[in-house]
Amino acid sequence: MSLEDWTREYSQTLYLRKLSDDGLQQRFDDISKNLWSTGKDNEVTPPRSTENRQRLLRLLVHYRAECIRRGKSWTWDSETEIRREASKHYAPPRLTKPFTGKPACLAKFGKRIHLRNSLERGALRVSLASTYNDPSLNPAQRDDELMHISRTPNSQFAMRLNGLDETGERISITPQPVESFRGIRTSDLYVWCCSAAYDARIFSDFV
């Protein structure tokens, strides 16, 4: 879809209209932080998944449309400029040996002292899932691991509005159906975090 299509799509729902200005800014920050990855030479690149990149750009256009609706200025000239600003604090890791492949197993990112304990003593740090919902952690580490939200396949929330038009005639409006999401909260459990891929960005996000 094009920018015009995504803008038109947003105008039919205006689902961000009730967000505060701070909430709207937070949404932009969250989108832009996910709009970049790193390449084989540890350089900043677009997201590796084309599908994920398109999804983020769609949400970015929706954000832009809401800013314009509120009379706010849009200062970004391109996706590249947004990516550059979002990754400005990224520093490519200095590795003893360059790593260009994929881990043959699960990869663990962490501080040297913790990884050394794992390698030399077989000591693994397993934490309660609830401990990751901690505001002192950075955005990449912080998460509500006890809440799982899923989109319900082939399930939509639909409603019909009945009222009067400007002439007093009775009318009925059927809004566009929205997707149904379900949240499931689990009891606390123990988790051990690792990665199935290597990405230079993970060093700055998790170490």
| Overall average pLDDT of the 14-30 stretch | 91
| Overall average pLDDT of the 22-40 stretch | 92
Who's near 85: CB < 8 A, 6+ residues apart? 32
Over residues 46-100, the pLDDT tens digits come to 998 899 999 999 999 999 999 999 999 888 889 999 999 999 989 888 888 777 7
Who's near 186: CB < 8 A, 6+ residues apart? 129, 146, 147, 148
Which pLDDT belongs to residue 104?
Answer: 81
pTM more than 0.75: no
Q: Which residue has the higher pLDDT, 109 or 174?
A: 109
| Overall average pLDDT of the 39-50 stretch | 90
Which pLDDT belongs to residue 157?
Answer: 65
**Alpha carbon of 186 to those of 134, 142, 144: distances in Å?**
17, 17, 11
Exposure of 27 by Cβ count < 10 A (0-12 exposed, 13-18 middle, 19+ buried)?
A: middle
Q: Output the six-digit token pair for 153.
A: 């396949």
Per-domain boundaries in the chain: 3-86, 147-185
Residues of the chain with pLDDT > 90, as a percent, come to 34
Task: Say how far apart CA 188 and CA 146 lie, in whole Å.
Answer: 7
Q: Is the pLDDT of residue 16 over 80?
A: yes
Instruction: Using alpha carbons, select from 101, 100, 118 the residue that is nearest to residue 109.
Output: 118
Q: Which residue has the higher pLDDT, 205 or 131?
A: 131
Query: Are the C-beta atoms of residues 197 and 101 closer than 8 Å to each other?
Result: no
Which pLDDT belongs to residue 51?
Answer: 93
Mean of pLDDT over the chain: 85
Q: Which residue has the higher pLDDT, 11 or 161?
A: 11
The position carrying tokens 């799509």 is 9
